[in-house]
Structure 1
Amino acid sequence: MDLTGKQRRHLRALGHHLDPIVQLGKAGLTEGVVAAVDAALEQHELVKVRLGTECPDDQNDVADALSEQLRAEVAQILGRTVLLYRRHPKEPKIKLPPPGG
């Protein structure tokens, strides 16, 4: 599922006031971090991931890896923060604008 510009804008607006739920440290992107982000997406649908200053990984690489491994969409990369979205399969909380309109 690719997000449209309008849908990304909507998610960025919703994510603006969120605090990062998961933070990457000097170990970078580990299996534990992936599991934590997966659990957070399952519960919240929209999650901010913060890369600490000591994190060796590039934010674009982290965003790509997480979106691929967790079947999530990258709504925004701003500085060292990545905003990820994954629709809940049974009970979606976030209603996105329709793709064409």
Structure 2
Amino acid sequence: MITSKQRSYLRSLANTIDPIFQLGKNGIEESFLKQIEDALEARELIKITVLNNSGLGAREASDAICEAIGCEGVQAIGNKVVLYKKSSKKPKIELPE
């Protein structure tokens, strides 16, 4: 679990990154979750766009993905979701205490 200070720091980092995934009409599938896991391992912080035809809101999508792969939902605003998971191999992001 991350603190509000850490969440704020991660939001500031996520401000400059572009979404690398789109959640569309196929919803949250195993292959989609695998791609997200791989991206989180490589980058630690990713942004996802939730399309209108997905049938999910940004918060719902964030909660479902986080529950499935054990990551942290940093932010869900509008149709964008920001996710964080510390890399098990080589962490890049140093969180404040």
TM range, normalised to the smaller chain? over 0.9
The question of 1:85 aligning with 2:84 is answered yes
Query: Where in structure 2 are the equivalents of 1:43-82 lying within 5 Å?
Result: 43-82=42-81
Deviations 1:32-77 (Å, cap 9, x if unpaired)?
Answer: 2111111110110001011012211222221111111111001111
| 2:96 alignment partner in structure 1 | 97
Between stretches 30-39 and 15-24, larger displacement belongs to 30-39
Deviation at 1:90, TM superposition (A): 2.7
TM-score, length-normalised on structure 2? 0.93
Unpaired runs of at least 5, structure 2:
none
Paired residue type of 1:16: N
The question of 1:11 aligning with 2:10 is answered yes
The SS at the match of 2:52 is: coil
Q: Which aligned runs of 4 or more in structure 1 are off by greater than 6 angstroms?
A: none
Q: What percentage of residue pairs aligned between the two structures are identical?
A: 38
Paired residue type of 2:86: R
The question of 1:38 aligning with 2:37 is answered yes
CA distance in 1, matches of 2:44, 2:34: 14
Unpaired runs of at least 5, structure 1:
none
CA distance in 1, matches of 2:71, 2:8: 16
Q: Provide the aligned length of Structure 1 versus Structure 2.
A: 97
The SS at the match of 1:54 is: helix
CA distance in 1, matches of 2:25, 2:11: 27
- Given that 1:59 and 1:77 are in contact with CA atoms closer than 8 Å, whether structure 2 keeps it comes out as yes
